[in-house]
């Protein structure tokens, strides 16, 4: 049985499947949570089981670090 896409919930067939972050995605659905840039296995960063591009992951990491420092 084919799994459902983590983003859209539709069936993911083997020819379009991306298996990443313990989930399955359509290639078109595997994009950055923030800026929607299309990602692949070489240019994504996982954060809380969600995909981000390098730029957005860095910004998210910096915000989180600043929040810890000011607390």
In a domain, 51, yes or no: yes
pLDDT the model gives residue 67: 64
In a domain, 6, yes or no: no
In a domain, 9, yes or no: no
Q: Which residues of the chain have pLDDT under 50?
A: none
pLDDT the model gives residue 69: 60
CATH number for 65:
2.10.110.10
In a domain, 43, yes or no: yes
Residue 19: give the domain boundaries. 14-70
What are the DSSP calls for the chain, one per residue?
-PPBPTTT-SB--GGGEEEETTEEEEGGG-B-TTT--B--TTTEEEETTEEEEHHHHHHHHHHHHHHHHH-
pLDDT the model gives residue 22: 96
pLDDT the model gives residue 11: 98
pLDDT the model gives residue 60: 80
What pTM does this model have? 0.82
| Total domain count, the chain | 1
């Amino acid at each position: 049985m084919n799994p459902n896409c983590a983003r859209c919930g539709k069936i993911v067939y083997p020819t379009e499947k991306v298996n990443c972050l313990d989930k399955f995605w359509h290639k078109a659905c595997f994009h950055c949570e923030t800026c929607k840039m299309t990602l692949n296995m070489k240019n994504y960063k996982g954060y809380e089981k969600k995909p981000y591009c390098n730029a957005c992951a860095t910004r998210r990491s910096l915000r989180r670090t600043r929040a810890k420092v000011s607390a």
